[in-house]
Copies of this chain bind each other. A is one copy, B any other.
Amino acid sequence: MEYSNAERASILVQALPYIQNYNGKIIVVKYGGNAMVENQLIDSTMRDIVLLTLIGVKVVLVHGGGIEINQTLKAIGKKSEFINGLRVTDQETIRVVQMVLAGKVNKDLVNLIQSKGGKAIGLSGIDGSMIEAKIKNQDLGYVGEIEKVNVNPILDMIDKGYIPVVSTIGRDQEGNIYNINADTAAAKIAGELGAESLITMTDIAGILYDQNDPETLLSVVKLSQIDQLIADQVITGGMIPKVECSTNALKWGVKRVFIIDGRIPHSLLIETLTDAGIGTMFIKD
């Protein structure tokens, strides 16, 4: 598409109030799952993050990587046991999780940010003992529950001018490693940082009142409405824990929480720098 200079300038100027609003503030972006599969989209998201950084936003990128973990487990021929549909994370599995999250996904994202002109450093929950965890359920093995998040390493990176990219594995004082749910970790980190907003990028359009009708998108959901929406089966399945993380983040002090559609190119930028909210914003009553 071709734009005239005047059009370009006009759009930049329209972004001014949004830039002023976010200048110097922290945004935690949770990225992962199906929103993180298509190369072109990942590319455009990393570019958005670099742009946000340049206009004074302090972006913290928290990522998952379930799909790539599965691929690697399959590649090494590891057969997993399942309890109630949840994978048992034994010693061999957690080593794969650590390797894939902290070594592959994390460094790939850091690499990409750098290629877009940004300056990033990848951190895992092990670095600087950032995520202290404990076992959640004996039977599930090294699946961790967060005991404490220490955000100093993140703040130190921001202070030195880096974009922190965080993979959510945790450790305990004996040095055991745990797999930590990335949505939960992102919410907790955002809360501890007193972030301006937490943006979870997913592969859905947001909360739709009728899941078959994109026109029924709920752009704003209040905390008090959530129970009813679950009862009405508007919020269902895998979306329930994501919504729970969102409400927790609000309770822990994050100002605004969004679930947005990561399949739309530059959805992150559209959400932060235009008046067009895409996806659903959760707010206190």
**Which A residues form the contact surface with B (CB < 8 A)?**
1, 3, 5-17, 19-20, 23, 44, 47-48, 50-51, 54-56, 72, 75-77, 95, 98-104, 106-107, 110-112, 114-117, 119-124, 126-129, 153, 156, 159-160, 162, 169, 171, 173-175, 177, 264-266, 269-270, 273-274, 276, 278
> Is B127's CB under 8 angstroms from A121's CB?
yes
Contact of B265 with A6 in the complex, beta carbons under 8 Å: yes
- A55: which of B54, B110, B117 is its contact (CB, 8 Å)? B54
CA distance A107 to B276 in the complex (A): 36
Query: Do the beta carbons of B102 and A98 come within 8 Å of each other?
Result: no
Complex Cα gap A76–B266 (Å): 36
Contacts of A123 in B (CB 8 A): 121
Q: With A and B bound together, what is the CA distance between A36 and B179 in angstroms?
A: 25
Q: Give 11 pairs: A residue, B residue, CB < 8 Å, sorted on A.
A: A8-B11, A9-B273, A12-B15, A16-B50, A17-B117, A75-B75, A95-B104, A102-B102, A103-B106, A114-B128, A160-B160
Q: Which residue of B lies closest to A20 (CB)?
A: B117
With both chains docked as a complex, state the minimum distance between the C-beta of A138 and any C-beta of chain B, in angstroms. 22
Min distance, Cβ A117 to any Cβ of chain B, angstroms: 5
Tell me whether A269 and B55 are in contact (CB under 8 A). Answer: no
- Chain A contact residues, majority secondary structure: helix
Contacts of A121 in B (CB 8 A): 121, 123, 127-128, 153
Write the nearest CB–CB distance from A21 to chain B, whole angstroms.
Answer: 10
Q: Which residue of B lies closest to A99 (CB)?
A: B103
Contacts of A3 in B (CB 8 A): 7, 11
Residues on the B chain within 8 Å of A16, using CB = 47, 50-51, 54, 116-117
Q: How far is the CA of A282 from the CA of B60 in the complex (A)?
A: 41
Residue numbers in B under 8 Å from A177 (CB-CB): 107, 111
Q: Which residues of chain B are within 8 angstroms of A269 by Cβ–Cβ distance?
A: 9, 12-13
Shortest distance from the beta carbon of A144 to any chain B beta carbon, whole Å: 14
B160 and A13: CB pair below 8 A?
Answer: no
* CB-defined contacts of A116 to chain B, threshold 8 Å: 16
Q: A8-B273, A20-B54 are in contact. List 16 more A-B contacts (CB 8 A).
A: A6-B265, A11-B11, A12-B266, A12-B273, A13-B44, A13-B266, A16-B50, A16-B54, A20-B117, A103-B106, A110-B126, A111-B171, A114-B175, A122-B126, A122-B127, A160-B160
Q: Find chain B residues with CB under 8 A from A278 CB.
A: 5
Please measure, in the bound complex, the distance between the C-alpha atom of A110 and the C-alpha atom of B95, giving whole angstroms: 14
Q: How far is the CB of A210 from chain B (nearest CB, A)?
A: 23
A-B residue pairs, 4 tightest by C-beta: A103-B103, A9-B266, A99-B103, A102-B103
| Interface hub of A104, A107, A124 (most chain B Cβ within 10 A) | A107
Partner of A98 from the list B12, B103, B127 (CB cut-off 8 Å) is: B103
